[in-house]
Amino acid sequence: MTGGATGIGLGIVRRLLDDGASVLVAALGPEELKRAVGGLPDTAGFAGDLAVPGEADRMVAHALGEFGRLDILVNNAGGGVIRPTLEHTEETLRATIDNNLWTTIRATLAALPPMVERGYGRIVNIGAESVRNGLVDHAIYNAAKGGVHAMCTGLAREFAHAGITVNTVAPSYVQTPEITEALAAGRFGEQYLNVLERATELIPMARPGSVADVAGAVAYLAGPDAGFVTGQAISVNGGSSMG
């Protein structure tokens, strides 16, 4: 479980644990990792930047050492700079692509060999509904997440014969505990608040998604009931885009 120490990632970790999985939680820093997995049963931790060559290989080796096999990879590591396109810098462009696309590519490439060897695997990527609905100020973020969506379909076809499914869960605006806390503390600037307002306006159900909404979709795709589902982008969006 990459990006598993906070927000949507931690919610998915808890759901997978409830469903009986043992989970390696990967995050950037050891302190956030300690806060996340401390007290959780059947978990191990890995701290590293998965956009850096070699780190994903170390993560998979650690998972195999802890649990003896790798059945599921959830690619949730991400986070980018959301701003008007012409305000991006070389640094923010690189960070947005690295954090969302390269982390997913490297983790997937590291996880595939042991899955192919066993003839079984479930890869679930966390994409973004903004790829479909064109949410304001998300063009560069969408370029990265759009790459994740596109890679999903190619891998699904390439590895279907090996018993491996590859799918993407695409959430719309999800109000994580961290966002709720930041809103209450007034830590968001006006520009970001405007983005959140626009995101909510796009949702016919007139509410943000919850972490549990996303975790439920991931749990389905990662489980045995989705054995004939592959190459799909499942929108968890309250109806913000349809069809």
Residue positions annotated with a catalytic role: 141
d(Cα 179, Cα 166) in Å, to the nearest integer?
29
Q: How many helices (H) and strands (E) does the chain have?
A: 10, 6
**Which position has the token pair 């995101």?**
199
In the numeric block, which tokens belong to residue 115? 């899955």
Count Cβ atoms below 10 Å from residue 186 Cβ, excluding itself.
8
Q: 139 Cβ partners below 8 Å, 6+ apart? A: 85
**Which position has the token pair 């016919």?**
204
230-233-239 Cα angle (round to 5): 140
**Which position has the token pair 């012409």?**
86
The HSE-up count of residue 105 (CA atoms within 13 Å, CB side) is 15
Q: Output the CA–CA distances (angstroms, integers) from residue 212 to 20, 39, 171, 242, in the order listed.
A: 17, 20, 11, 21
